[in-house]
Amino acid sequence: MPKAPSPVPAPWPAPPQPQAGCAHCADLDNRRITARQQCDRSAETDCNVMLRRHLREAHA
């Protein structure tokens, strides 16, 4: 019996956007931009995770 094709993965979610006027959001966004410029995908992902967590906890 042939194997079923693997499902097509969903596209990556859009990166989180910082809230205007929030210093913590701006700091995480700047760190993410720096990581991206240095081709440090791990640090960029860490910043996305921290920014999503901050947005959920401080701006929800």
Alpha-carbon distance of 13 to 15, in angstroms, equals: 6
Alpha-carbon distance of 55 to 10, in angstroms, equals: 23
pLDDT beyond 80 at 56: yes
pLDDT beyond 60 at 59: yes
Alpha-carbon distance of 15 to 20, in angstroms, equals: 16
Alpha-carbon distance of 9 to 20, in angstroms, equals: 32
pTM: 0.79
The residue among 32, 55, 34, 56 whose CA lies nearest residue 44 is: 32
Structure confidence at residue 50 as a pLDDT band (50, 70, 90) = very high
Please tell me the predicted confidence (pLDDT) of residue 44. Answer: 97
pLDDT in tens, 8-43: 776 778 999 999 999 999 999 999 999 999 999 999
